[in-house]
Every structure is written in C-alpha cells, then in structure tokens.
Structure 1
Amino acid sequence: MDLLLDVGNTRLKWGLHDGTGWRGQGAVLLSALDGFADVLASLGSVERMLGANVAGATVGGRLGAFLERAGLAAEWIRPLGEGYGVRNAYLDPSRLGADRWAALVGARALHDGAALVVTSGTATTADVLDSQGVFQGGVILPGLDLMRLSLARDTAQLPFSDGRFERTPRRTADAIQTGCLHAQLGAIERMFRLVAGEPGSLCLLNGGAAAALAPLLECPLREVDNLVLEGLVRMLGAD
C-alpha cells in the first residue's frame, strides 16, 4: 500500500492506494494534527509515502516525526519544469506551489484535453492546462469562506453567518453568500474562456467549496474528489 498526503493550509488530506485503486481516503484538520498519528496506526502495512506540503516546515516536521515512528520516510514533492505529461511554463517553475503542480499532473492523467484546473479550498486556484499538457499559468484568489470571513472581520455590520445563493438577495446573509459565490464563479468562468475554444475542454473542479460552486458554474464541468492525491499517485507510479 502507498500513502499519499495533501497538506494544505487548513487540512491534511490522505489517501491509501494499492496500485490499482483507492483503498481509503480521509482528512484531518491541521489544528488537530496529532490525530493523524491515530490515522497512521489504523492503516496497516504501508510501504511508501509521498506528499505535497504547502503548510510549511513546522507542519512538515511534525508529520515527518509521525511517519518515522510508523517506519516510513517522509518524501515531499517539488514542482518540476516538466514531468508526468505536464510542462510547467511558470517563469520560475520551482516557485509553483507543490499542490498546484500535483493537481495539474492529476488533471492531465484524468483528462487528455485542455482543462481549467480549479481547487476551491482556503484559497481558490484556477490553472490553465492546454491540450498539449502545457501549464500556461493561473490565478489565486481568496476562497469562498475566506471572502466571507474578511467581510465579517473588516466591516462593522456584516456578520459571518450562513446565507444562501439568491438571484436577487433580500437578506444581508444571502447578499454576502451570493456576492462571494459570484466572485468565485466569475473568476472561474473568465479563466475558462482561455481554454473554451479547444475541443473537449473541461473545468476540473475539486476542493472543499466544490459542492457549492458546481451547480452554479456555467461551463463544462467534472468534479474530482482530490486532484492532488490523483497527481501524487501518478508520480509514485512513475518511479
């Protein structure tokens, strides 16, 4: 069994893969990271581990200690200029986030046409992958909940409360939720225009806010549980 880790800004997502398919997936909040030691203990025999970490060295060090106690060596990916069917056209390929690189590899493995690769988590990223497998570039914006939180934190009378999407909101909570959703949807749909003219182009959407965004997006769409894990398993299988 192989253990794949996607260590984001808020959560650690893990997947257990046997070489042919997923045998388990789950998530642990970084605020409760010690709970991952219990997850490791429950997984049984694991031969290798590969991960993408954008949470920083401190979190990586803690995870490394957990893995070492479980008899595993921590191996963290770094973005490449080219590999696994993807060419990285970033001006400095090493500066691309490891999670975005893994998501692009996962997207290319799942779809061989042009794609907009969208991860909607603490931040939302929308990355352009052309039909030749070239990552042309992408955007980063605050995620849905972060947008809502910023309004509650930095304004006097706009609360952080649950609202719903409405065409013409008539409650403040609905106005906030609808406005933040429009901001996310608009950014994604504008970025999708960059690949819309290519045959079979698709928006590949994953992340914690995917369920809120998917019904409202007006572009060809496929939801994927975790593109980072999909990319990592391809990297491990290419060794």
Structure 2
Amino acid sequence: MKSLWLDIGNTRLKYWVTENDQVIEHAAELHLQSPADLLLGLIQHFKNLGIHQVGVSSVQDKTSNERIKKIIKQLKIPVVCAQVHAEYAGLKCGYDDTTQLGIDRWLQVLAVANKPDEKYCVISCGTALTIDLADGLNHLGGYILPNLYLQRDSLIQNTKGIKIPDAAFDQLSPGRNTIDAVHHGILLGLVSIIKNVLEQSPRKLILTGGDAPLFAKFLAEYHPVIEADLLLRGLQRYINHAEKN
C-alpha cells in the first residue's frame, strides 16, 4: 500500500511516497509563500501514483491549511492532519498552550522520545534553528533562533557599506577579513548556544535538516546522530498511533 506524507514548512513543501514503509519517492520544493499553488500542481502526479492514504504536517496559517485540505481531498482517500496535543502516544507537551508549538517540532520530538530513561536534544537546522529538549516522555520546551543565512541576510540589510557574497560557513577561527568575520562569527554564535544548552543538561543529540552535517562537524564531542527524515518518522508514528486508537 502506498502512502503520501506531506511536510509543508515555512519555505518548502517536502513530500515522501512510501510503499510498505519504504521511501520510493522523495522531493522538496520552494513554495514561494504559496504552498497550496505548488500542491495543486502536484496533485495529478499523486493521483497517478495510486496513493491510499495521506499524512500531513503543516505550519501554515488556518486559511492556507483549509485550502491545502481542499486540494488534497481531490485524491478521494483518507487524510490525517497532525496536530500538537497536550499528551500523545505517551509524550507530554512542554507548552502550556499547545497551539503555540509548531507541529514540525512536535513530530520531530515524537519521532525519537520513546524511552522514559533517556534525555534528548532535538535540533532542526532549517529555515529557523530550533532546539527542543525532552526528558524521557516529557517535552520540556526549547529555543528558536534565526539560522545561518537569516542572520547573514539581516546583517547585510541593516549594515551600510558591507557587501557579503556567498561563502562557506566552515570555520570558527577569527576572521581575517570582513567576509570570514561575518560567517565565522554567525556559526560560532549558534554552535556556542548549542554547546551551552548541552552543557547545562547532557543529553542525546539528534540533528535534522539541511545544515545538520555542518553542525555535526563542530559538535563531534557530543556524538550527534543525524536523522535526515526525522519529521517523516514522527508523522508515521503519529498516524500509526491514531489508527490504533
């Protein structure tokens, strides 16, 4: 049986198609602030694949989500849209108001936080850098930071006279020119924050998102585990739990 899994983020629409729990197709595309339009262009492709069910994670607003649901209904198959719960599959949410927690963060923690005696730090290195902490099955909350590129773009836009072309974030040493000083400084700041969090409370470090390998390089002493499809795993666990209850 084929299943479609949609991750509709702030800047990209990602999807996986699985058959018997094996990923047979995977893609990620910029949606240019109109994920519904992008999805509309993909719907015929999904129809041709013979999908039997759909699981959705979306961080979009209510209006966008309603349009997204209407488009998905064209597939005429069961659809489950994941939501954050005060408690789900044994995991307790650390937010007093669950509507304030992004579903992407919730699913990423849900994917891994399944051992009562294990402490977790789940970091998503995407459009924002998000840090979520869990003690066993208790989500503790976390932190949200602008990622490497948002920080660099903000500096460019708000600093007169500084022209900073694309360059690699690859060193923590002091920069010996303006370009390196900016890139090394931003990277050092984020790596230092992560280390500070881990030193306050040692825990298993799990990285996901496009920049996960970069951060893993500078956090080697914490033995990070990179999970490329962490949200997919969380969404699958969410759907499996919903089907059993």
Q: TM-score per shorter chain, which class?
A: 0.7 to 0.9
Letter in 2 for 1:147: Q
2:24 aligned partner = 23
Q: Which whole-Å CA distance do the structure 1 matches of 2:67 and 2:164 have between them? A: 32
Is 2:97 aligned against 1:92?
Answer: yes
Identity of aligned residues (%): 27
TM norm structure 2: 0.85
Q: Which whole-Å CA distance do the structure 2 matches of 1:219 and 1:187 have between them? A: 14
Give the drift of 1:73.
Answer: 5.5
2:212 aligned partner = 210
TM alignment of 1:1-239, pairs within 5 A: 1-31=2-32, 33=35, 34-43=37-46, 44-72=49-77, 74-108=79-113, 113-130=118-135, 132-164=136-168, 165-166=170-171, 167-196=173-202, 201-217=203-219, 218-238=221-241, 239=243
Give the drift of 1:50.
Answer: 1.7
The change in CA–CA distance for 1:127 and 1:47 in structure 2 (over 3 A counts) is: same
SS for the counterpart of 1:75 is strand
SS for the counterpart of 1:127 is strand
- The worse-fitting range, judged by mean Cα deviation, of 147-156 and 30-39 is 30-39
Aligned length in residues:
234
TM norm structure 1: 0.87
Give the drift of 1:29.
Answer: 0.9
Cα RMSD (Å): 2.3
1:94-118: CA deviation from partner (whole Å, max 9, x where unpaired): 3211111111111225997321000
The change in CA–CA distance for 1:109 and 1:26 in structure 2 (over 3 A counts) is: farther
CA contact (8 A) 1:11 1:30 kept: yes
Q: Which whole-Å CA distance do the structure 1 matches of 2:8 and 2:204 have between them? A: 26
Give the drift of 1:84.
Answer: 2.1
The change in CA–CA distance for 1:157 and 1:75 in structure 2 (over 3 A counts) is: farther
Unpaired runs of at least 5, structure 2: none
Q: Which whole-Å CA distance do the structure 2 matches of 1:189 and 1:183 have between them? A: 10
1:4-33: CA deviation from partner (whole Å, max 9, x where unpaired): 111111111111223433222211211174
Q: Which whole-Å CA distance do the structure 2 matches of 1:157 and 1:202 have between them? A: 43
Q: Which whole-Å CA distance do the structure 1 matches of 2:63 and 2:79 have between them? A: 14
CA contact (8 A) 2:43 2:75 kept: yes
- The worse-fitting range, judged by mean Cα deviation, of 144-153 and 92-101 is 92-101
CA contact (8 A) 2:7 2:14 kept: yes
Give the drift of 1:151.
Answer: 0.4
Give the drift of 1:3.
Answer: 1.4
SS for the counterpart of 1:230 is helix
Give the drift of 1:156.
Answer: 0.8
Letter in 1 for 2:161: Q
1:40-85: CA deviation from partner (whole Å, max 9, x where unpaired): 4334011221212112234324422431223245532221111123
CA contact (8 A) 1:121 1:207 kept: yes
